[in-house]
Every structure is written in structure tokens, then in C-alpha cells.
Chain A
Amino acid sequence: MQQYDLEADGLRGLNAALQAQTAGPEQTAWEVLNPRGSHAIAVGLNAPLEVTVRGPAGYYCGGMNQQATVRVQGSAGPGVAENMMSGRVIIEGDASQYAGATGHGGLLVIKGNASSRCGISMKGIDIVVHGNIGHMSAFMAQAGSLVVCGDAGDALGDSIYEARLFVRGSVKSLGTDCVEKEMRPEHLEILAGLLERAESDAKPEEFRRYGSARKLYNFDVDHADEY
């Protein structure tokens, strides 16, 4: 286990050391001490590392992650796991706005609540939130799954493309072109797998599924005069 004191040794040194661990890393387990809400902790990783951040992180923690597992023992600021490609980012506390934004792959787990715009423009990432999510979540979501064990805020899935949304609690309102959909066996199977990987004991049967009505994103020639 490698230890890195962020307060003493600075952010650039941490990210340089972690990013240097590429093919066949020698040091796979890292512990980041004294994060104190610092920005851009453990970003741009591209190796199967296990990074544990001992305390709250600031903006953009775990951004652009590939392969690595980043676990934050605290809360995370805006843009956690932004544009993640693969790997896992796990937040033990709450996450601020636009968690998992534009993510292409991997799994983001938020054990607390996420704020507004969770999963905005997600492109294949899977996001599991144990608590609630804020307004405008999954806005223009293109692919991947967003699982919410609590409640969702206003305008869920506005202008959504092909991402799957699963919500166990209430949805304050659905965004334009987002509708409730039938939960079929294949969805229950996907959901069960995601919940298990996200260390949640919620039952797939308790969730409802939402997705695109597909009325918005295809150009309809009958509407040509409206432009």
C-alpha cells in the first residue's frame, strides 16, 4: 500500500505518480491522505489501480478514469467521475452536481445523495445512487444506466436518447420526451447486476423504468415548417 499525503506533497505529484502506473503496475494500492476537498484528485488514471481517498474530495475527482477503482471515504464535489471511460468510482458520502457527466463507461456508485444534473449527457456509464438525485438528471442521456434507490428531482431525463433510468422512489417530474416504460425481465436482470456491483440491497422489483419516448430526437418532416 502506497500512501500519499496530499496536503504535504501536492496534487501534481499525486496525479503524476498515479498516471505513471500504466501497463503491469507495480504499485496497485494507493491511499490518499488529507484530501481536504481538493480538486482533481486521481484524474486521468489508466491502470487497474485501487485508490482510496481518506476524506472529502472537491471538483472532478476520478475524472476521465480508465480501469482504476477510486473510492472516496467522504463526499465529492461537482463533476465526480466526469467523462469516465471504464473502471469504478465509489463515493461513500454525497456527490455534488453533474456526477458522472458525459461518462462513456465504467461504474459510478454514490452511497449518499447526488445533486442536480447527475448523469447529464451520459454516454454509456452506469451510475447507481443509493440516495436521491437532484433536478435535470440524465439530461440528454445517450447510453448507459442510471439507478436511483431514492427519489429523483424535477425534469428527470429531459431530451433523453437511449439511456435506461431506474428509480425506486418518487420522480418529482419527468423531462420532455421521457416516459415511464415497462419493466421487462431483461431490465430486471440488468438492474439486479448493477445493484449487486454497487453494494446495494435494494430489490429490482421495487424500481420503475423510464426512458425515451423517441419523439424528440428524430426530425419529423411534418414539422419542417416550424423551423
Chain B
Amino acid sequence: MCGIVGLFLKDTSLQPELGSMLTQMLVTMTDRGPDSAGIAIYGAEVPGQSRLTVQSDNAQHDFETLAADLSRALGEPVTQRVNGSHAVLSLSRDKSAAARELIRTLRPDIRVMSDGDVIEIYKETGLPEDVATRLSLARMGGTHGVGHTRMATESAVTTEGAHPFSTGSDQCLVHNGSLSNHNALRRRLTREGIRIESMNDTEVGAGYLTWKMREGATLGEALESSLADLDGFFTFVVGTKDGFGVVRDPIACKPAVMAETEQYVAFGSEYRALVSLPGIETARVWEPEPATVYFWKH
């Protein structure tokens, strides 16, 4: 099964509420995915700065001097904001790739959830409500975000197997379904230099989109070509720095419902995920068509 939620705000006055709206949506999808939960949230940009979101099973020990150690190695200031098992490192944009490499040697057990100018990804195993509480997801603000509740089929119930997946700067993907050609595609993408870190099928889907966009495709074009190159069942919701997209495979077994008002565009695996949104009673509510790419941009 799995549950997906997504929210793209048009009304900037709602931005401080993004986390609480998305969390409420996420928790309603618990019975579609009680194994793990995660969200990607796109926050405010700080000029010249980018951020790395990292996760550790031994957060206190791993994060204690992480910013200082990185700062020393990079010769640049690095600031750190710890949030439970996750921490967000802020540093100058041109040091982001170097920092990612350094983390691998300085703290080999840390997982990098995301990197980019505005994206932060938080994910853990456990009931969505518990995950949301532990990470105070409801207190976060931002411009748009996606969330996922997981019922695992293709790989183990671990933090690495939870969604969203990010294989490129400020990019993320959540998925309901299963891909059947992910092993062959993983080998091909790895040869192309795309970073894929787990055995999960969705991460391959994310890597595929990253690869297409690296080769010059727009997100819309990358989603369009995924319809030909990915085999299996999928409803995808993707996030980029300034946008939010949806595509379903041509068979479209995996459910999807969308709502749009003057204030937002919202996605839910079911209508239940949308019931608490403001003005939902009068929103335009529809089921996205199979094999059709939908995309909104700020």
C-alpha cells in the first residue's frame, strides 16, 4: 500500500503552517503505511548557503562535535541545528559536495538524507504520528513539501528504506507502488555516476529522474520519459527547489486524489488525507489521469 501526501502553497501566509498541515495529512495515512514515515520540506533560502540534512542512530555522540569537525576540515564556518535523530548543517553552497564527502570519513555511520539550498528530509521507522512527534514536524514552515507513510514490500523496514528519497540537490521522490525493473536500472544508473545508496526500488526511480534532469531534461520531461522506462506500478510525487509534480503509471491502480484552491495544491492517496485542509469543501477535487504529468511551480 503506502500513503502519499503533498502540499504546494500558493498563499504565502500559510507558509508557517506547512509543517502542521502536512503532518495532519500524513497521520491520516497511517493505516496505508504504519512501518515508517518521512517528509521533505522546502524552506526559506539563505543566499549563498546550502544545507545538508543528516541522520544518525547514535545522534548525541555523532552530532556532538560534527559542525566543529566539519568546519575545521573545510576551513569555513558550519552551523548545526539538531532535531532528534536528525541534524541540519548549514554551510556555504560551494562546500556542500566536499562536506558530504567528509562526513563519510568523519562519521561513517551518519546517513545523509538530503542536500540542497532549501530541502530538508526527515524520515524514521515507526508509526507516522510517533515519527512526527519525535521530529516536531508540525512546527516546520516552508513553501511546499511531500510526505510518505510506508508499508514495505521491496526492501527492509529501515531508515534507508523509508521515503522520501533524494538523489540530487533539492530533489526528492515519494512513491506508492513497486518497480519491477529496478535492479537493471540501478546498474545502469550507477554506471552513469548517479548516487544510489540502498536496494530500494523507489530510490532507483528517484535516481532515474536525477539522471534525466542531469542530461538536460526538465522535471516534466523526466517524468514523461519515466512512463516509458520504468516498469511497474507507481504513483509518484516529486519535489524540486521551486516545484511539485505528480505522475501515475498508465494502469493507475495506485490511488491518487488532488485538490486545488486559490491557496494551495494538495495531493493525497485518499480523500481522507485532504479533509482538514482549509476550504476543502469548495476546492476543485479530482483524480489525476493515468500517464499524465502534472506540475506546479512557484
Contacts and interface: CB of A to CB of B under 8 A. Distances in A.
Interface of A: 36-38, 56, 58-59, 75, 77-78, 94, 96-97, 115-116, 134-135
B255 A96 contact: yes
Interface string B28-58: 0000000000000000000000000000000
A6 to B, nearest CB: 12
A135 B286 contact: no
Given A75-B285, A94-B287, A37 B272 contact: yes
Contacts of A97: 252-253, 255, 287
Interface of B: 252-253, 255, 257, 270-272, 274-275, 285-287, 289-290
20 contacts: A37-B272, A37-B275, A38-B272, A56-B271, A56-B275, A58-B270, A58-B271, A59-B270, A75-B271, A78-B255, A94-B285, A94-B287, A96-B255, A96-B257, A96-B287, A97-B252, A97-B253, A97-B287, A134-B252, A134-B290
Contacts, number: 38
A38 B275 CA distance: 10
A77 B270 contact: yes
Contacts of B253: 97
**Nearest 3 A/B pairs, CB to CB:** A37-B271, A37-B272, A36-B275
Nearest to B254: A97
A95 B208 CA distance: 33
B287 A115 contact: yes
Nearest to B256: A96
A75 B255 CA distance: 14
B252 A116 contact: yes
B277 to A, nearest CB: 12
Contacts of A36: 272, 275
Contacts of B274: 37
Given A56-B275, A58-B270, 13 more contacts: A37-B270, A59-B270, A75-B271, A77-B270, A77-B271, A97-B252, A97-B253, A97-B287, A115-B287, A116-B252, A134-B252, A134-B289, A135-B290
Contacts of B289: 134
Most chain A CB within 10 A, of B253, B271, B272, B275, is at B271
